[in-house]
Amino acid sequence: MDENKEMQNGMSEAELEEKILQDVSEKIAEAAAELEEEIAEAGDAAEEIAEETVEEYFGEDADAFDGETDLMAEDGVEGFDEAEEEPIPEPKWITIKLRNLVLSLVGTAVAGALLLFLGLQIPAWIESIPEGKTVATVDGTAITDKDMEYYIYAEAMEYFQENRGTLSLPTEYDWSKEVEEGKTAEDIVKERALETAISEAVTMNMGEKAGMEWDEKEATASAAMQISQMESVYGEELVELNSKAQGLGSTKQYRRKVVQAQHLSAVEEDMETNPDNYFPEDKAALKDYPGTEGASVKHVLISTEAKEGEEPVNVEEKRALAEEILARAKAGEDFDALVAEYNEDPGQTEKGYTFGPGEMQEAFEEAAFALGIDEISGIVETNYGYHIIKRIPGKYELSGYWKAQSKIKVKERAIKKISVKELLEQIEADTEAFQAMYQEQQGGAQ
């Protein structure tokens, strides 16, 4: 109340009235924008229902429509001659009616109460809404096209590094060429990106299902503070360009990824601390979900490295000991007991190792990835010595298990519309703009 009195005392009645009208207009515009987004999402939902209806009605023949129906045709129905068939217009009457309804509601006396509510709630609500259109959901968690652009960019860069040949820039690569039977480089990149996006969403949801305490508001506030500090030093425009140069599209998307990274880290840490909250009651169920992106193992190492100041080891004796331990493990002796008695790897904890590709020596990694859950390897030799490896269920298996329990929906057509080449060209341009502006700032500072 005191603030209102001070504002009134500093303004004339006309000025106060003008300010109130301006504030109301801004709130109406914000409300309309948000409602329009909801209408667009409702249209997407209607599109999904139409696709499912076609499948149900036409059965196997539905594939001939390639996901297109008379309710959502954009390019016509596949298999028809475009010269002879007129395209069926999109039913815009649904959107028009909804928009008219929105405008009529805003124009009624209810608008006063609505605007009061919006004035209190919209800022926090807007901040929590992800940018872009939803292209997939995992138990209701949205993955947007803006999210996918980030994952696609990351996978494209990795793919390019592996297959660049003599090319220097990813924009020079032919992403449309077929590299596997029926698949282009773009197809492979998108598949990997979607898999990563889904896996991360599954992991974050796993924490919630396991009862992990996660303060999203605090993480969001921390990320906002980080960005605010960057903007105070470099300016909003440079920070925005920095986000775009990383494939994130905007500062808001950058903040979203920072929060998600903290969320993922918190879940993975909780999985290490409270594994029983994440494993199914019957751990044998995880045998059906061996991780393809990494592995968890325990091993017995019989070292062949000579310690400083000691005589060289007898490699034959070491090998014979490894053979004996292997035979006992294969015969069913408790593997943990064998680890406790014979292992010479000081870095291994009771939980073993969890790792992805490229993190271990090649021979060790290949042997581990080839094992099924609870299987024991033969003797694996590295420059450390002789290893006997047992694969155990870990986070990669849990991810596969929880993924199978999740309700996942993917809008293939929406993802197909994202062009890897165009995305990389845009990020390249944003990177050049960022570098130019940064150099200009640094030059001016000197």
pLDDT digits (tens, 9 = 90+) for 283-335: 888 888 877 778 999 999 999 988 777 778 889 999 999 999 999 999 999 99
Whether residue 154 is found in the same domain as residue 122: no
> How many whole angstroms from its chain centre is CA 391?
27
The CATH code of the domain that includes 314 is 3.10.50.40
Over the stretch 99-113, which tens digit does the pLDDT of each residue have? 333 333 333 333 344
Whether residue 167 is found in the same domain as residue 271: yes
Whether residue 430 is found in the same domain as residue 386: no
C-alpha to C-alpha distance for 71 and 88, rounded to whole angstroms: 8
Whether residue 408 is found in the same domain as residue 385: no
- The total of structural domains in the chain comes to 3
Whether residue 182 is found in the same domain as residue 239: yes
Over the stretch 95-151, which tens digit does the pLDDT of each residue have? 333 333 333 333 333 334 433 444 444 344 444 566 789 999 999 999 999 999 999
In the listed set 103, 129, 155, which residue is the last one of a domain according to the structure? 129
Whether residue 373 is found in the same domain as residue 251: no
Whether residue 376 is found in the same domain as residue 414: no
Whether residue 37 is found in the same domain as residue 181: no
With contact defined as beta carbons under 8 Å apart, do 268 and 204 qualify? no
At 408, the pLDDT band (50, 70, 90 cuts) reads very high
More confident residue, 174 or 55: 174
In the listed set 129, 160, 187, which residue is the last one of a domain according to the structure? 129
C-alpha to C-alpha distance for 227 and 2, rounded to whole angstroms: 33
**This prediction's pTM:** 0.64
User: How many CA atoms within 13 Å lie on the side-chain side of 243?
Assistant: 23
Q: Could you tell me the sign of the dihedral formed by the alpha carbons of 312, 314, 319, 324, in that order? A: negative
In the listed set 69, 96, 129, which residue is the last one of a domain according to the structure? 129
For residue 52, give the amino acid letter.
E
Both tokens assigned to 326 = 């292997």
The string of DSSP letters for 57-74 reads HHGGGGGGGTT--TTT-S
Whether residue 147 is found in the same domain as residue 230: yes
Q: Who contacts 68 (Cβ-Cβ below 8 Å, separation ≥6)?
A: 74, 75, 76, 77, 78
Strands (E), 29-128: none
- Report the Cα–Cα distance between both ends of the chain, in Å, rounded: 49
Whether residue 372 is found in the same domain as residue 429: no
C-alpha to C-alpha distance for 386 and 390, rounded to whole angstroms: 13
Kindly report the number of other CB atoms within 10 A of residue 113's CB atom.
9
Q: Return the minimum-mean-pLDDT range out of 78-87, 95-104, 149-158.
A: 95-104
At 181, the pLDDT band (50, 70, 90 cuts) reads confident
User: Is residue 357 a part of any domain in this protein?
Assistant: yes
C-alpha to C-alpha distance for 211 and 139, rounded to whole angstroms: 16
User: Is residue 398 a part of any domain in this protein?
Assistant: no
Supply the range of the domain harboring residue 424: 137-279+403-445
User: Is residue 378 a part of any domain in this protein?
Assistant: yes
Whether residue 259 is found in the same domain as residue 320: no
At 278, the pLDDT band (50, 70, 90 cuts) reads confident
Whether residue 253 is found in the same domain as residue 296: no
User: Is residue 397 a part of any domain in this protein?
Assistant: no
At 15, the pLDDT band (50, 70, 90 cuts) reads low
